[in-house]
């Protein structure tokens, strides 16, 4: 029961923090159309607070709750770098954070984690909350103006150079790309395919590997086209 | 007037909040509820609320991705 209540309180805090964050966005943004779209999301968060509060009341009134936790990993990455190196992982959004955690936790080797369009501190915190060792992970983004940005999102050559500069490891390592789906905002599928092919070859030459995360449903054609360029495709 | 990079950075943060901590916590909560001995009726109620939260969060994530695309291409 304590664990459930803890998760519910975390959820309540996340929802309340989101309202505060989106309110601050609405105040700063001058484009009416974007403001309205964020307001709609903020209004959903207000309803979410009510849903979570309802669940907290329910759990507090329930008695003798036992949780039989059986933690099952959603993905097995066994054979990575021995039998295959370039890997496309196709995952639905709801399974995406846990899949990232499972991969980082199983591989336990130096890694460059490219959080293409998401702020890396959220991923770091999520992994830490799951007690995953991130001491061997170097984080980077393509968010303009962010401290850990290594390239502009629209510049794949710059991105390759930025990643290359970070590849200073003794022994085995891998590149984790989160996520290839986000590349479609800035690049054509043809350019993405060329980048994937080039990066796969480069990493193979270094005896290193690459994990390409692809969010399912977002772009089915990307998933099949990228899968063809990789040694292995894992669908969750 | 806010420049394009700042606006996209803001939208990236919204996307990060929805896709990482929110989805992660909801999925963990769902697993805990499913593996608990909570009364079936209460479990049903929880299931309904959590599924609604997950559905909305996925929609929010798509909405932020679309806004980033629109601002970038606009």
pTM (whole model) above 0.90: yes
Q: Give the model confidence (pLDDT) of B35-66 as tens digits.
A: 998 888 889 999 999 999 999 999 999 999 99
pLDDT reading at A72 higher than 70: no
pLDDT reading at A73 higher than 80: no
Q: Indicate the residue of A18, A37, A218 with minimum beta-carbon distance to B63.
A: A37
Indicate yes or no: CB of B68 within 8 angstroms of CB of A185: yes
Low-confidence winner among A19-23, A102-106, A121-125, A213-217 (lowest mean pLDDT): A213-217
What's the pLDDT score for residue A1? 63
Residues 6+ apart with CB under 8 A from A15: A45, A48, A49, A52
Chain B residue closest in CA terms to A115:
B16
The ipTM is 0.95
Q: Give the model confidence (pLDDT) of A164-218 as tens digits.
A: 999 999 899 999 999 999 999 999 999 999 999 999 999 999 999 999 999 987 5
Instruction: Assess contact for B64 and B11: CB atoms under 8 A.
Output: yes
| Closest to A140 measured CA to CA, from A128, A129, A152, A157 | A152
Neighbours of B51 (CB within 10 A): 12
Tokens of A174: 């891998």
Q: Which residues of B touch A94 (CB under 8 A)?
A: 23, 26-27, 54, 58
Residues 6+ apart with CB under 8 A from A166: A112, A138, A140, A150
What's the pLDDT score for residue A197? 97
What's the pLDDT score for residue A8? 97
Q: Give the model confidence (pLDDT) of A16-63 as tens digits.
A: 999 999 999 999 999 999 999 999 999 999 999 999 999 999 998 877
Indicate yes or no: CB of B19 within 8 angstroms of CB of A96: yes
């Amino acid at each position: 029961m304590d664990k459930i209540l803890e998760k519910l309180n975390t959820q309540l805090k996340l929802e309340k923090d989101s309202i505060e964050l989106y309110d601050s966005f609405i105040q700063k943004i001058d484009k009416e159309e974007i403001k309205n779209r964020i307001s709609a999301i903020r209004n959903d968060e207000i309803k979410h607070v009510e849903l979570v509060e309802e669940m907290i009341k329910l759990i507090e009134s329930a008695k003798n709750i036992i949780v039989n936790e059986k933690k099952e990993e959603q993905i097995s990455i066994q054979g990575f770098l021995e039998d295959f190196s370039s890997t496309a992982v196709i995952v639905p959004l709801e399974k995406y954070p846990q899949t990232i955690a499972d991969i980082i936790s199983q591989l336990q080797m130096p890694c460059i984690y490219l959080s293409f369009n998401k702020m890396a501190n959220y991923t770091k915190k999520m992994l830490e909350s799951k007690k995953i060792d991130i001491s061997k992970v170097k984080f980077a983004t393509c968010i303009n103006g962010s401290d850990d940005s290594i390239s502009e999102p629209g510049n794949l050559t710059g991105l390759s150079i930025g990643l290359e500069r970070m590849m200073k490891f003794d022994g085995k390592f891998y590149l984790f790309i989160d996520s290839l789906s986000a590349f479609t905002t800035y690049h054509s599928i043809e350019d993405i395919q060329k980048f994937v092919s080039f990066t796969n070859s480069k990493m193979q030459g270094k005896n290193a590997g690459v994990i390409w995360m692809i969010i399912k449903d977002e772009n089915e054609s990307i998933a099949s086209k990228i899968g063809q360029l990789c040694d292995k495709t894992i669908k969750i | 007037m806010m420049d394009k990079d700042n606006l996209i950075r803001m939208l990236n943060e919204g996307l990060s909040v929805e896709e990482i901590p929110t989805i992660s916590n909801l999925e963990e909560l769902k697993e805990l509820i499913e593996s608990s001995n909570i009364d079936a009726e209460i479990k049903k109620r929880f299931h309904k609320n959590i599924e609604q939260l997950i559905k909305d969060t996925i929609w929010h994530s798509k909405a932020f991705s679309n806004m980033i695309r629109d601002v970038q291409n606009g």
